[in-house]
Amino acid sequence: MKLLVVDDSPDIVEILSSTLELFGHEIDGAYDGTEAVKLLQNNRYEVVITDAKMPIMGGVELCKFIKSQFPGVYIIGISGYLEALKELKDAGADICFSKPFRIEEVEEAIGNRLRPSATAFGSTALQVIA
């Protein structure tokens, strides 16, 4: 599966990318929403993992863009701020995780992306049920 990881922290992009590659995913990384938009326009992604708070273009704006232009893309929002998680959810994120999160929860969300359910709530997740 092809994923895009977007965070202004290079460490988080690297950790998520290298770990998710171990699960067999192909990963591209971006460090803000505008860089992510360019990648989205030139590549096909099944999942985007995005931080909420980033300079230039944050995750909330990115979520809105993705849902308007690529509605089939599954969005996983991440943030250390509860209010930002709510904003990501309202902007169209399918599921959100509070930092710090367990990578296994993110991988489970990726695997369950087509089957959202009330039982899919992780200890650090906010789920949007369609």
The ranges assigned to domains in the chain are 2-127
Give mean pLDDT, residues 57-71. Answer: 97
Does the predicted model carry a pTM greater than 0.85? yes
Residue 75 contacts residue 33 (beta carbons within 8 Å)? no
Distance of alpha carbon 4 from alpha carbon 9, whole angstroms: 14
- The predicted pLDDT at position 92 comes to 96
User: Over 60: is that where the pLDDT of 58 sits?
Assistant: yes
In degrees and rounded to multiples of 5, residue 94 shows phi and psi of -75, -35
The burial of 34, by beta-carbon neighbours within 10 Å (0-12 exposed, 13-18 middle, 19 or more buried), is given as: middle
More confident residue, 125 or 129: 125
Instruction: Kindly state the percentage of the chain with pLDDT values over 70.
Output: 87
Q: What is the CATH number of domain 2-127?
A: 3.40.50.2300
- The predicted pLDDT at position 112 comes to 85
